[in-house]
Amino acid sequence: MDSPTLLFPQPDLYLQTRAGNRIPAHATILASVSPVLQNVIKSSNRIVKIHGVPDAAVTAFVAFLYYARCTEEDMHKYGMHLLVLSHVYMVKHLKQRCIKGLSDRVSTENVVDVLQLARLCDAPDLYLKCARHLTNRFKAVKETEGWRFLQNHDPCLELEILRFMEEHEKRKRKARKRREDGRLYTELSEAMVCLEHICTEGCTEVWPFDVEVRREREPCSMFGTCQGMQNLIRHFATCESVKRRCLRCKRMWQIFRLHSSICLRQDTCKVPLCSQIRLKMEQGKRKGDARWELLVRKVASAKAMASLALPKRKMVEESRREVP
C-alpha cells in the first residue's frame, strides 16, 4: 500500500496490529469514516489496537479508510476479515463492498465460514446467498472441514441451516406444483376455446350444420390440438360403447361438462349438450365437489387471461388469411 500519510499532515496516532506493527494515521480521517473509531480515539492514548485479524488485513482496512478503495486482490485474500472490521467499526461502504465481494466468491469450500460470518456481522443478503448455495450443493458441502467444524461446535446453527433447507425444499415443491397446475389450467382453457372454435366456425372435419362446409383439408392453423379435438368429437358422436364407458367418450364428456360450467353464451351456444348439461348440473348440484369447482374457477380465469392476448393472435391469423 502507498503510505497514506504522503498527502496528509503529520500523523497523530497509530493503529497497532496483532503482530505489534504500528501504522501511522490521522485521527480526523479515521473519525470521519468510522463513528466507532471516533469514540475509540477520544478515549485512547493515540494508539488504537486492531487485533484479531492479520496485519495485511489491517493495512487493507486503513487503505479503504483513506482512499475508499479496495483491490480485488485484497478482497480475495482478506474479504472475510474486512467484513468483520467494517462491521465492528461501522464503515458502511466497506461493509457493502465486502458483502458484494464475498457474495461473488461463495464456494463449496468457504460457504460455511462465510455463512457464519454473515450471521455474526448482520448481513442477511449474504446469509441467504450462502444458505441457498449450501442447500443446492449440500452433498459436497457436508464433506468439507467447515461443515464438520460447525457440526461439532455450533449445533444451533446446524439446526437452523437444516430447517432452512427443509423450508427451501417445501417451497420448491409448492412452486413446481403451482407450475404444473398452471400448465393444466392453460391447456384446458385452450381446449375450451378450441371447442368453441369448432362448434361455432367449424374446422376441417367438424362444423355446425348452419356453417358452409370447408372443403380444403389442410390442418387447422389456429390450434395445435384442433385435429385431436375434432377426432374426439367425431368419436363421441359415433361411439357405440355402452353408457359411454370408453375412455375417449369419458374425456369428451368431461370437456363438454367443463365447457358448460364456464360457458357465458347460454342459449345461443352452439357447443353440443351445453344447455342440457348445465340443466342437469343445476338440478342435481352435488354438494362438496370442491375440486371440480376449483378446476372450473381456474380454467375460467385462465381462459379470461388468454382472451386478453387473443386480439393479437387474431390479427396474426387474419394477416395470414389475407396472404393469397
Interacting residue ranges for Zn ion, rule: CB under 5 A: 203, 220, 226, 239, 241, 246, 248-249, 263, 269, 271, 274
- Report d(CA 39, CA 30) in Å as an integer: 10
Nearer to Zn ion, 161 or 252 (CB): 252
**CB closer to Zn ion, 102 vs 203:** 203
> Which is nearer to Zn ion, 62 or 263 (by Cβ)?
263
Question: Nearer to Zn ion by C-beta: 155 or 224?
Answer: 224
- State in angstroms the smallest separation of the CB of 219 from Zn ion: 8
Sheet holding 13-16, edge to edge: 22-25, 13-16, 47-49
Q: Which is nearer to Zn ion, 120 or 316 (CB)?
A: 316
Q: How far is the CB of 264 from Zn ion (least distance, A)?
A: 8
> Pick from 55, 67, 50: which is nearest to 14 by CA?
50
Strands (E), the chain: 13-16, 22-25, 47-49
* Eight-class DSSP state of 242: G
Strand runs labelled E in 5-161: 13-16, 22-25, 47-49
Counting Cβ atoms within 10 Å, is residue 15 exposed (0-12), middle (13-18) or buried (19+)?
A: buried
Name the residue nearer to Zn ion (CB basis): 79 or 202.
202
In whole angstroms, the minimum distance from the beta carbon of 163 to Zn ion comes to 50
In the numeric block, the cell 442477511 is attached to 124
Distance CA 167, CA 180 (A): 20
Pick between residue 128 and residue 249 the one whose CB is nearest to Zn ion: 249
Which is nearer to Zn ion, 38 or 227 (by Cβ)? 227
Residues 259-284, buried b or exposed e (16+ Cβ, 10 A)? bbbbbeeeeebbbbbbeebbeeeeee
Strands 22-25 and 47-49: unpaired
Q: Nearest-CA neighbor of 229 among 251, 209, 210?
A: 251
Question: What is the three-class DSSP state of 270?
Answer: coil
d(CA 202, CA 42): 89
